[in-house]
């Protein structure tokens, strides 16, 4: 086998191995958010894929961290699914908008009814609005996924310190650091700047095109004037006579 063929074979093997190793990670219950900032409110989405070839996913339980409770938790209805938020009395009350909060939601349960269960090769997303988000780098949500055959997959393993992925990783939400500038101020500034840039850009291109056309017209005019001057001078010069005349 030539060196080129061996290299191609090794490359193909590595690619296949990478896909095999990546496949299980993509099937984990996960959580994401478009804007999760420390101290703010956010809509988070729990994505639940069905990993079974025979059973459907009929229930999802998500545990919210009791150490950093959320004062506000709202659930988005999903057709065919019932939902329940379980509250727990807090050992240490938290404050929200100047008022003490003595209990908070610590578990959310979604249960499928009828044909709404997550089937093989499908996934479902569950949206939750919550806040204020704690001032930490990440929040771990331990989740339990129940199948129609009674199997329960416990996605509860916390992130490792060495960066390796645990066998059943819990969904982890990364939080961005808060800034001192109000959130609305940068947005308004950026929007205004973007609009100004569009207007300025349009005017600049129009001006450039206008100047270019003007220069072309000027050059053509000068050339025409030059040609006309030469023609006039030639017509005004008398024909030369021979010495015999």
pLDDT (tens digit, 9 = 90+) per residue, 81-91? 999 999 999 88
What does the pLDDT look like over 162-210, one tens digit per residue? 878 889 999 999 999 987 544 443 333 333 333 433 333 333 444 444 5
Quick: pLDDT tens for 24-48: 445 789 999 998 999 999 999 999 9
User: In three state form, how does the secondary structure of the chain look?
Assistant: CCHHHHHHHHHHHHHHHHHHHHHHHHCCCEEEECCCECCCCEEEEEEEECCCCCCCEEEEEEECCCCCCCCEEEECCCCCEEEEEEEEEEEEEEEECCEEEEEEEEEEEEEECCCCCECCCCEEEEEEEEECCCCCCEEECEEEEEECCCCEEEECECCCCCCCCCCCECCEEECECCCCCCCHHHHHHHHHHHHHHHHHHHHHHHHHHHHHHHHHHHHHHHHHHHHHHHHHHHHHCCCCCCCCC
Q: What is the pLDDT of residue 27?
A: 76
């Amino acid at each position: 086998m030539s060196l080129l063929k061996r290299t191609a074979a090794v490359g193909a093997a590595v690619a296949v191995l990478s896909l095999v190793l990546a496949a299980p990670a993509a099937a984990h219950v996960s959580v994401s958010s478009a804007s999760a900032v420390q101290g703010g409110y956010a809509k988070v989405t729990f994505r639940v894929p069905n990993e079974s070839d025979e059973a459907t996913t009929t229930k999802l339980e998500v545990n919210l961290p009791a150490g950093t409770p959320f004062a506000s938790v709202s659930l988005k209805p999903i057709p065919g699914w019932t939902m329940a938020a379980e509250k727990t009395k807090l050992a240490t009350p938290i404050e929200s908008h100047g008022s003490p909060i003595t209990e908070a939601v610590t578990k959310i349960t979604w249960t499928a009814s009828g044909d709404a269960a997550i089937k093989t090769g499908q996934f479902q997303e569950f949206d939750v609005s919550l806040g204020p988000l704690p001032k930490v780098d990440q929040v771990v949500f331990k989740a339990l996924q129940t199948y129609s055959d009674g199997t329960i997959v416990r996605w509860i393993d916390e992130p490792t310190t060495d960066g390796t992925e645990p066998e059943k990783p819990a969904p982890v939400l990364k939080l961005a650091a808060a800034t001192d500038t109000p959130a609305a101020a940068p947005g308004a500034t950026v929007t205004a700047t973007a609009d100004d840039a569009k207007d300025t850009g349009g005017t600049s291109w129009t001006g450039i095109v206008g100047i270019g056309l003007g220069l072309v017209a000027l050059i053509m005019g000068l050339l025409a004037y030059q040609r006309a001057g030469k023609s006039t001078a030639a017509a005004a010069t008398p024909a030369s006579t021979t010495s015999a005349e």
